Amino acid sequence: MGSRGQGLLLACCLLLAFACGLVLSRVPHDQRDQQAWEGNEEPPSPPDHAERDEQHERYSPSRGQGLPASQCLRCCDPGTSMYPATAVPQINITILKGEKGDRGDRGLQGKYGKTGSAGARGHAGPKGQKGSMGAPGERCKSHYAAFSVGRKKPMHSNHYYQTVIFDTEFVNLYGHFNMFTGKFYCYVPGIYFFSLNVHTWNQKETYLHVMKNEEEVVILFAQVGDRSIMQSQSLMLELQEQDQVWVRLYKGERENAIFSDELDTYIIFSGYLVKHASEP
């Protein structure tokens, strides 16, 4: 065998010896003591409490220093754990999530809760857009009614009441005053103003009524006098449609008359609408 083979054999023996030493160093103390007891006839006596405390202090680490790597520890030592901490496996639940199910039926409506207090008024919203133009409205309706008529002939009382007939037309808007009957017919309901002016006769009374339908409303009266004078009466009436207003000369129980002639007009009856009934 050459020198090279001897060197290789020597290296193998050294490696074998090193491995045996490592194995023996890992044998527990209890097994080594048991092996020592087997060689001796009597096992050593267990140490007393004082000796165990001394050994505990000897092998216990001092404050602020870590445990030696090769030092043995007891399970009752403070700061040690019998079971080493193991990492808890984490499960990714996203891989366990199933597909979305169908929507269920609508449940029954619950009971109404108590009415809460009114909240504060909110801020005014933005101005909206201008709307479209609406349809044109109805044309404004103006209501008018007016008349003014006169009489050029004198008139004397008779045994019955007489309607004063007028022969001169100054204003007769829409023909509401009938010149043949001597009456104003109301076609526009509302409030009207009327006036009557006459000329009295010497030594005779003047006795007339302004009539509404068949009712005496006001009187125009002048006593017997030596001189003739102008006499007037005026009033306001609220009329409904088809009401009639006219002048009546009193019957012949008293001698009364009104004066006029062909040259001048002494007897005048006028009226006009003040306010239509539909206006506020």
Q: What is the DSSP string of 86-151?
A: -PPPP--GGGG-----PPPPPPPP----PPPPP-PPPPPPPPPPPPPP----PPPP----EEEEEE
Rounded to an integer, what distance in angstroms lies between the CA atom of residue 262 and that of residue 269?
17
- Residue for token digits 């017997």? 224
Extended beta strands in the chain, E state: 146-151, 155-156, 162-163, 168-172, 177-178, 183-185, 190-199, 206-212, 215-222, 230-239, 244-249, 257-258, 267-276
Half-sphere exposure of 213 (CA within 13 A, CB side): 8
pLDDT tens by residue, the chain, 280 residues: 566 666 677 777 777 766 666 555 554 554 555 554 454 445 555 555 555 555 555 545 444 444 455 556 566 666 555 556 667 677 676 666 777 888 888 888 888 888 888 888 888 888 888 888 888 766 666 789 999 999 999 999 888 899 999 999 999 999 999 999 999 999 999 999 999 999 998 888 899 999 999 999 999 988 887 888 899 999 999 999 999 999 999 987 778 899 988 888 999 999 999 999 988 7
Q: Is-contact 187 174, C-beta < 8 A?
A: yes
* Segments making up each domain of the chain, as ranges: 146-276
Q: What is the CATH number of domain 146-276?
A: 2.60.120.40
What is the value of pTM for the model shown?
0.51
